[in-house]
Amino acid sequence: MNTEKVLGFFQEITRIPRESGHEEQIVAYLQQFAAARSLECKTDEVGNVMIAKPASKGYEDHPTVVLQGHTDMVCEKKSTSNFDFSKDPIHYVIEDGWMIAHDTTLGADNGIGVATAMAILDDDTLPHPRVECLFTVSEETGLDGARAVKKDFISGKTLINLDDEDEGYFCVGCAGGMDTAGTFKYIPMHLTTDHVLLKFTIGGGQGGHSGDDIDKGRINGVQQTARFVNEVWKYHVELCRIAAGNKRNAIARGGEVILAVPARQVRKVVAAFADFAARLKAEYAVTDPGLYFEHEKVEWKKEAIDTDTARRVIAALLAIPHGVIAMSADIPGLIETSTNLASVKMEEGRRIVIGTMQRSSVNSQRIFLSQRIAAVLELAGAKVRHSDGYPGWKPNMHSHVKDVCVASYKRLFGREPVVRAIHAGLECGLFTEKFPDMDMIAFGPTLRGVHAPGERLDLASLDRFYAVLLDVLKNL
């Protein structure tokens, strides 16, 4: 299957800045694309775009199909990279059949879904019913675009979400999610002249998607940074700065702290860090072989976080759970509930903010888990807030579109595909609330390393995915 057109559009998309909340340029690009082809196009107040294409000859009486993907991307880069997501085009290479961005995220999640829909809109040789291509914004920061879609924005009753990441799998259900954050206020504490300021860095963790990869046992840079600080309190250090993790839906790949160390204790603290590094390298030798540890003397303002607040923050970071909490009793191998200790950041106003994200296919368990984490944060003295969250998508094993997809895959490739639910969040959960009669499925090409530098797209899987999608449109 020739996917040159899909890749052509995706290559254009990699040159367009589109971090969540900053999708203006990709929205304009889609609008210009539609105008150049005289296609029906509308944009809502948050930036969601719908582009419709009439049915091809002979398909006028077939039901409308919605093709859906999101325009934003998770912007993560290596700590050594100077890449600017607000203006720089993504740099990628083709290696051994994979399209890879080595130093940043690639944005195939979900740029390849957007490009696929565009290729169908652009090709007048394809047989298909009327298609409505729905491009949503800010999926990665809380599914905000899907949340804002009005009921009259689309008319189709069958929706194909193009945001799954394993070719040969058809997704019919997903987890719901929500964020829980805790904010600490601190008082600056003046440092005495006998303190030496040292920065300690943990880096090179593999990271990954906080849903798809939460069961991989990879290092959590937030918790391990706190672990080191906790181990060296005995040397009477003071915490000046802490920064670890970034996006709520990405596993933290590392972190750094600046500590004020009494001059007489510098050798002991440095030795403790070397010992700590050796232990972590051994603990994570399989999951995170690229770990590195650095320390250096730095210049910093002569103040630290007050000792009481610093110790409460570190205690909270150690106590907050991270990883898989429960497996599904109904679907073997499916993670039911998990939580991601995503970040700790110092912000203006002398605030320290801890960010976490909870997922579950059981909404009551997701809420309970967020309450547990809130309890830890409140006991540590933080002010807690929760996001609105989004619902899970309950599987419908009697779905018509699911049956058509399975039949297409078997006909094209002679083998049975896998029908499953996933632990990641998809916009389909919100669509089930807005459009309760919508028949939905999600599938896509194989992606690996999403939400982390090194994200890659399997080009052979893209061919198979596109072939199935075209066959499904022909047979719906």
Contacts of 60 (CB under 8 A, 6+ apart): none
Strand arrangement of the beta sheet that strand 98-100 belongs to: 93-95, 98-100, 456-458, 447-448
Active site residue 403: no
Q: Which two tokens stand for residue 202?
A: 């943990």
Provide the CA 454 distance to its chain's centre, in angstroms.
Answer: 14
Q: Which residues pair with 296 in a beta bridge?
A: 199
Torsion on CA atoms 314, 336, 365, 179, rounded to nearest 10: 50
- The DSSP secondary structure of 371-395, one letter per residue, reads HHHHHHHHHTT-EEEE---B--B--
Q: Active-site residue 471, yes or no? A: no
Cα–Cα distance between 429 and 147 in angstroms, integer?
10
Annotated catalytic residue: which of 23, 132, 139, 471? 139
Q: Tell me the C-alpha to C-alpha distance, in Å, between residue 119 and each of 53, 157, 158, 160, 267.
A: 12, 22, 19, 15, 61
- Which of 72, 109, 288, 458 does the annotation list as catalytic? 72
Q: How far apart are CA 75 and CA 243, in angstroms?
A: 17
Return the H-helix or E-strand segment holding 458: strand 456-458
| CA–CA separation, 103 and 18 (whole Å) | 17
- Show Cβ contacts of residue 11 under 8 Å, excluding neighbours closer than 6 positions: none
What's the CA gap between 473 and 469, in Å, rounded? 6
- Which residues are known to be catalytic? 72, 139
